[in-house]
Structure 1
């Protein structure tokens, strides 16, 4: 009996890969660490996306769902993360074509070639992959596969507060007062931030969302004070607010304008050119320093500095990853934030995602490494191309199509605005349209 294709992660992109394989009649298995499909998405389930439903569906998944009588949401409505799971991912994962092949509460801790470390074997293609799994009781099992698609994402691997890529001095000790990601300021985390002094670090849409939420909280809890630190110097500050009215995703454009208004009004205290070096716990609160400057004490810190891939389980595979971005080497130049402020992504698929390890692919947010410019349609196209290749349909695999909404502003290495492309800093890039709730985008 032939071995299945193993998919790591039952999020949007992992399930898209499963849907494409199901349509092709290919054997597959999905391994998910959480208790249900979209478990990581539910961690930001309170946040509303700034992309409408029409950008949230994979086409193979859409076809499978429609054939089962599923009622699609309205194209122009904006889902929350929880709605994405409840109205799309859970119905998809429950389909008879997918459900028997999804295994929950199992974490992949290692992937290797059966009996081979990364040094052994000239022709590794014919050797099965072995995935080591750990369930929630700690029991270990193994799974053999003919190919592996890693769609596990990055949300569980946030970047630290420290500017050097490692935790700042004292950051670990202060962990009880630091939140990484997007807190539910208006809901379950309200008591944690109401009438507290809060420092927000980061210049992406996740930080924007948090700032807006905290200012809104301050309207009913007036002692709430908000500091905002960003790495960019004052001369570059204006660029972080995005394309405004020129953005093809109107809600995303509104986000930057709203945060700009908060800064102008003085409701958020901004410090530019900041690189966190130390966090000290004192009797008056957390004192944060960049080595030369020290901020007033705060009670809580929210770190919105992006995410990075967890590559530890892939240690015994032969990967070709860019040393800077940690994305596949052919993809990295297209998305390197040192070269692009906005991910000028041309169509890409199996060729850009290939590694020296045959039949192994990283897709979705994890394929972008540390680059903060990922969109769900990009991941869906990756899934379509890679699954076609694994099924031997190379014509379809290389017929890559991708259209993304333009931001209205971006810059290349020279910093010139080109109005060319789509940018969503981080998988959970957020925005709040006027008089509406929080928004995020994949």
Structure 2
């Protein structure tokens, strides 16, 4: 069986060790001959790479391993790029969250003004990765899960329309894992789902088991009472206190359309004031991550590198990232697996903008994704999605044209922002904070 060569772009990310552990756990599914890490921050990546070298030596010493800041080295002789970059790192995420909160607006890394700011930084970074891949390994595929996925996906559609890029998100996977748990199933793969929307902005419309039995009534009964909350154990990425509150808040989001089951992120658009009320303007999610996950992962990596062993390590396999292996397998082996991806609509949602980047189930094979038609959607969801797609398209146009006006319009149009005056104040602060990261706006 062929063995594959993979570049992880964003090699200095705190998620990289968990992804490498996950890849090594699944070598029977996706054989690997080479793993490369690529980042533009050599010092940060080196700490992660030194630990990953030890992990690979222990678990699969025949795999070649390289960490580099040189695009030619990183992108030559590869089959897949797994991209999860964060332009500006957590220091800029902190500004994305705190600047809107100063004006009583949701401060969140992918929703509202914070997501727009992050998108303006991410577009150029992701386009660079695509260009490196196409220059040095033109037959490779990019599996892109860099946030904010909706804006990045729209940018790739407009600016790199013929590129082999698949835009994906792990949030529906995490929610489907909870659904499987609620139903007492062993795996979310026992469910076949229908879903439509935009990234972080969608609804499940049908969920059946492998025998075709309708699972929606049982899920709706649970969600009406508890949201997606279950009796969490203390392990896993999405179960700290803020995530538990998010999963409980789903019951309020669900009440707006009890026929469907919503993505958790809709809370930011339906109940923005509630989110602001429960935020700490001086200590946001970025601070929690920097003081928690960031310190933990780097200290563990430094300890592994120093001791040259993983013995006693508390680094965990990023289990729900295993969908990346499923996606790579679908491309490599033409498995025709059904997966949720962010793709150009082109009629998958019948009564919606054909150029919108929508999140829908697709059959994935060696030629990429084939979207599964979801039919017509109700007026409520259609209206919400049209507004949000307009935001995403305006952001990409603003980036492309260097247009202050269009970025102001984008922020004004977000459901999280109360009026155009506040939108302008937030924008002016974000411009100052993002000097060197955004194109010049005029």
Structure number having the greater helix percentage: 2
Asked if Structure 1 and Structure 2 have the same fold, meaning a TM-score greater than 0.5 normalized by the shorter chain, the answer is: no
Structure-1-length-normalised TM-score: 0.29
Structure-2-length-normalised TM-score: 0.29
